[in-house]
Structure 1
Amino acid sequence: MKVVQVFNVAPASESHELPSQTSLPLTFFDILWLRLPPVERIFFYEFPHPTPLFFDTLLPKLKHSLSLALGYFFPLAGHLTWPFHSDKPIINYNTRDSVSLTVAESDADFNHLAASDLIEAKEIHHLIPHLTISHEQATILALQLTLFPNRGFSIGITSHHAVLDGKTSTSFIKSWAYLCRESSSSLPPELCPFYEREEVVKDANHLGAKYCSDWLKQGGPNNRSLVVWDMQVPEDSTRGLFKLSRWDLEKLKQYVLSKNKGNTNLRLSTFVLCVAYVSVCRVRAEETKNKSFVLALNVDCRGRLEPLTPANYFGNFVGARLATVETKKLLAEDGILVAVEALSDALETLKDGALTGAENWSSLLLEGFNADARIIGVAGSPKFEVYGNDFGWGRPKKVEMASIDRTGAFCLSDCRSGDGVEIGFVSNKEVMEAFASLFVNGLQS
C-alpha cells in the first residue's frame, strides 16, 4: 500500500453556527468502554474507473462532504482527556481541531477482499486507520480512503468506543453519505445528532462514579491513563461473512416451534434466531471444552428509559444482558432451541428495566468470568443498515467490522440485497472451515 496524502479535515458549516469551544463529560454509558479497543469498520465500494477520476472528482466531493458532516458531529474532531480536576473523562473540542483522513492506493485484489469468501484477517489491516492515543489524551475518529485502481475503493473508519456506540458511529457515516450523495449542506432532522445528554441520562445510582473508580483502580491507584487494551490478533486468523436469508430465518423459526414443548416465553425475533443458530454452529466448530457458554448481548437503551431518549442521541447508550447455557446442551440435537430459550430468558429481564444489573457491568468487564465459561460478544445490528450508505456511486459491495478479529465477537448487519442478516465471524482457519460447513449443512437439513 502507498500512502498518497494525509489531510486534516476540520468541521465546517454552511447552515448553522459551530461552537468555538465545548466540552462534553462522558456519561456512565460511555465510561464503561473507556479502555476497550477502538471499533474498526471497512466499507468496500465498486469504482471501475480510471485513477484520475477518483482524485479529480470523487476525492474532492468526499472531503467537502466530510467537513460538512463533521460540522454536525463536531465532537468527533476533538480529543478525549481525563484531567486531574475532573471526576470523569471529558471530550474537548475547539476550532483548531480536525480529523485525520489518509488517502492511499493499494495493489491488492479488490474483488478478493470484497468477496464473501474466507480470507486471512490480516489482508484487510492495511485499510484501517489508527487513532492517536497516549496516557493523557486520545483522538476520537480516524478515516482512510484506499483506492484500488480501476476496481474500487474502501472507506476505513476507526472510532473510540468510549465516545461512540454502533448507532452513533453508523449515523455519522450515514450523514456523511447523505451530504455527499445529495450535494447538500443540510441534514434532515433525524440525522442531526442530539447533544443534550444531561436531559436524558439520569445517573441516580451513581454508576458513572462506580465505573470511574473501577478504571482508576486498574493499574492504579488513580490510574487516569487513556491507553486502550492491547488485544492482539491471533495467528492464522481467518474471517468470513455468512448470510441468513429471510427464508432461512423462517425455516429456523419453524424448526424451533416444532421442537418447543410448551414454552410460551420464546422470543423468535430475527436477532434471537440468528444468534442462536450461529452460536450452536460455533460451539460445534470450535469443539468448545468449557462447561458453559456465555453470550454477551449489547442492548440499545434508546427508547427503554425515562425520559425517552431520541434515536439520534450522540454517544453510547448501550446496556448489557448475558445469556448463559451449558455447553453440552448446545451440542445436543435440540441445541438451537436451548440457545433460543437462553436468549429469550436474558432479554425477558429487560421488562425489569434496561439498567437492571448495571452496577455489575464494569466488574464483569474488568474481572470476567471463571475459567469454565466461554464468553462471546455480539456486536453490530441489522438496524444500523450499513449497506444503505451510498455516497453517490452505489451501495457498498461489502462491509466488514475489522475489530472483531481482536474481540472474537460475532458481528451482525443487514445484507446488500436487503434479504436477511449477514454475520461476520473470525477464528483460525480450521474452525472457520468447520463453521462454514456446519452453517450451510444445518440450513439444508
Structure 2
Amino acid sequence: MAKPESMKVLEACRVAPAPPATTTSAAASETSLPFTFFDVLWLRFPPVERLFFYEFPHPPSSFFHSLLPKLKLSLSLTLRHFLPLAGNIVWPPPSPKPFIRYVPGDGVSLTVAESNADFNLLSGSEFPEAEEIRLLVPDLTVSDEKASLMSLQITLFPNSGFSIGITTHHATMDGKTSTLFLKSWAYLCSNIRESSSVLSLPENLRPSFDRSVVKDPSGIAEKFASFWLNQGGPNNKSLMLWNMKKTDQGKLIRGTFELLPSNIQKLKKSAESKLNNKAIHLSTFSITSAYLLNCLVKAEQTKHDKVLFIFSADCRSRLDPPIPSAYFGNCIGGAKAEAETKNLLGDDGFIVALEAISEALKRLESEEILSLAETWISDMETFGLTDTYRMFSTAGSPRFQVYSNDFGWGRPKKVEIVSIDRTGAFSLAESSNGGIEIGLVMNRTQMEAFSAIFLKGLSS
C-alpha cells in the first residue's frame, strides 16, 4: 500500500536471526515445521495486525542513535529463538498439506517510517479514522507459491512517540504465540547491553516447536487441506489470502470503550437477578461479550433473522494430555453462540445473549476438541454462504496482558488490533483499571449509536 504524504518510509530491510549464541552451536540450516489441523484451518484467512503506541518525547536523534538500533539488534536475537518466523509458508506439489520452511538467509521484513500525523490523536480515544491507523502496520509478502509469516513496521512520530506494527499470518500462530514473541522481543530489548548481545530467554518465554503433542488420529489436517484445494480448484495450492475488506460501510472510525470492574459486577448482579438460579456461565468474558452483542445489534438495528457469535478458546490446556503453554503455532478451538435477532433487540437482549454464550461455553467444556474440530470447516461453509445470519466475532484477549510489553521505554500508551477493520470483530484487552478494554471499527453513525447505548446501559 502506497504511503501518503503524512508518512515517509525511511528504510525497508530484512532482519535475519542472529547466529548461534556460542561457537560450538550448530549453525542454523534449512529446516521445516509441519502444520497441524489447528494451522491449516486458517490458511487463507486475512493476517492479524496489531499496533503498539509508545510515548517517546525526545528528538529524532535519540530515536535513530539509541532506540532503533536496540530494537533491531534485539529483534535479531529474538528470531534466533523463533527461527521459523524468519521463513515462509510453502505448499510444493508433492506435499499433501502446507508447511513452514526456513532457509539460511531468510529474514523478517522491517519497515522504518516517519509520520507527521498527530500521535496523541491516533493513540487516544477520540475516534481516529481507521485508514490513518492502518498506515502504521505493514503488509505481508504473499504470492501463490510462498507467504511470509510476519512483517514489522516501526514508525517515528518526532518528539512524541513511536509505534510498532506487527502483521502475522494466521496459519502460523494464534494470539498467544504472537504475544509470546512480542514479550520475548521486549524482554531481550529491555535487558540488552551494548557490550553483549548474548542473551537467553527465561523458561516461560522459550517457544516449544514440538508438533507431536497435537494428536490427529482421524486426519483432520488432510481434510482441511482438501477443503482449500477445492476452493478455486481442483488442486489449488495457492497461498493467496482472502480479501475481507468491507466497501459498503462508508468512512470507518475506530472507537475504544471500557468496562470497569464495577461495571462488570453490576452487569453480573443484574443477570443473576433475572436468571432465577439458572446455571449460567457468568465469567468476565461472557458478561462482556453478551453486553457488547446486545449493544451492537441495537446500534446497527440488525436486519438478519439470526445472530451468530463466533469466539475462540485456547486449547493448550484442553487437550489430553495438555500441551506446553509456550507451544508455537495455532491451538485455538472455535465456539459459536446463536440467537434470534428479535430477542436480542428486546428488553432482555443482554440475558438472551448471555444464555447463548453460556451454552456455547458448556459445549466447549464438555466435548472433545477433536470432535468439535471436525465441524469447523462445515460450519464455515454453512454460515459463510447464507444471508440468514449476522456474524460477530472477537479478537484478542485480556489474558494476553498486551500492556505489559515494555521494550525499555515504558509500557504502551495504546494497543490496537488493526485487522478488526476488515474482519468486523471487536477486540478485547486488559485495561489499566483492571477492567476490559474494547476496540471497535464502525462508521460514525453506528459508532455514535453504539456509544449512546453502551453508556446508557451502564448508567441505568
Task: Give your verdict on TM over 0.5.
Answer: yes
The alpha-carbon distance between structure 1 residues 96 and 366, as it changes in their structure 2 partners (threshold 3 A), is farther
- Match of 1:293? 307
- Match of 1:394? 410
Question: Equivalent residue of 2:374, what SS?
Answer: helix
The alpha-carbon distance between structure 1 residues 396 and 122, as it changes in their structure 2 partners (threshold 3 A), is same
Q: TM-score normalized by structure 2?
A: 0.94
Q: Identity of aligned pairs, percent?
A: 54
Unaligned runs of 5+ in 2: 1-6, 193-197
Question: Equivalent residue of 1:174, what SS?
Answer: helix
- Match of 1:276? 290
**Deviation larger for 345-354 or 231-240:** 231-240
Question: Equivalent residue of 2:135, what SS?
Answer: helix
Q: Distance in 2 between matches of 1:433 and 1:136?
A: 44
Q: Deviations over 1:267-313 (max 9, x none)?
A: 11111011001110000000001111100011111110112111000
**Structure 2 residue aligned with 1:406, among 422, 437, 444?**
422
Q: Distance in 1 between matches of 2:42 and 2:354?
A: 28
> Are 2:244 and 1:231 equivalent residues in the alignment?
yes
- Match of 2:55? 46
**Deviation larger for 346-355 or 432-441:** 346-355
What's the offset of the Cα at 1:369?
A: 5.2
- Match of 1:364? 379
Q: Which structure 2 residues correspond to residues 23-422 of structure 1 after superposition, within 5 A?
A: 23-183=32-192, 185-198=199-212, 200-234=213-247, 235-264=250-279, 266-350=280-364, 351-367=366-382, 368=384, 370-415=386-431, 417-422=432-437
Q: Deviations over 1:9-51 (max 9, x none)?
A: 1111426655312101111000000000010011000000000
Q: Deviations over 1:197-235 (max 9, x none)?
A: 11x111012111110111000000000000000122433
- Match of 2:3? none
Instruction: Look up the equivalent residue of 1:4 and give its one-letter code.
Output: L
Instruction: Look up the equivalent residue of 2:371 and give its one-letter code.
Output: T
Q: Distance in 1 between matches of 2:41 and 2:381?
A: 10
The alpha-carbon distance between structure 1 residues 369 and 272, as it changes in their structure 2 partners (threshold 3 A), is farther
Q: Distance in 1 between matches of 2:241 and 2:218?
A: 26
Q: Distance in 2 between matches of 1:356 and 1:243?
A: 36
Residue pair 1:51, 1:149 contacting (<8 A) in 2 also: yes
Q: Deviations over 1:226-245 (max 9, x none)?
A: 00001224331121111111
Residue pair 1:382, 1:412 contacting (<8 A) in 2 also: yes
Unaligned runs of 5+ in 1: none
Instruction: Look up the equivalent residue of 1:202 and give its one-letter code.
Output: K
Instruction: Provide the alpha-carbon RMSD of the alignment.
Output: 1.2
The alpha-carbon distance between structure 1 residues 18 and 201, as it changes in their structure 2 partners (threshold 3 A), is farther
Residue pair 1:18, 1:71 contacting (<8 A) in 2 also: no
Aligned residue-pair number: 442
Question: Equivalent residue of 1:127, what SS?
Answer: coil
Q: Distance in 2 between matches of 1:332 and 1:258?
A: 17
Residue pair 1:276, 1:336 contacting (<8 A) in 2 also: yes
Residue pair 1:239, 1:424 contacting (<8 A) in 2 also: yes
Residue pair 2:34, 2:211 contacting (<8 A) in 1 also: no
- Match of 2:15? 9
Q: Deviations over 1:173-206 (max 9, x none)?
A: 11000101122711101111000111x1110121
- Match of 2:4? none
The alpha-carbon distance between structure 1 residues 317 and 236, as it changes in their structure 2 partners (threshold 3 A), is same
The alpha-carbon distance between structure 1 residues 77 and 307, as it changes in their structure 2 partners (threshold 3 A), is same
What's the offset of the Cα at 1:381?
A: 0.6
What's the offset of the Cα at 1:324?
A: 0.3
Question: Equivalent residue of 1:4, what SS?
Answer: strand
**Deviation larger for 117-126 or 398-407:** 117-126
- Match of 1:436? 451
- Match of 2:195? none
Instruction: Look up the equivalent residue of 2:130 and give its one-letter code.
Output: A
Instruction: Look up the equivalent residue of 2:377 and give its one-letter code.
Output: S
Residue pair 1:259, 1:334 contacting (<8 A) in 2 also: no
Question: Equivalent residue of 1:356, what SS?
Answer: helix
Q: Deviations over 1:389-431 (max 9, x none)?
A: 000111100001000000001111112x151111111111110
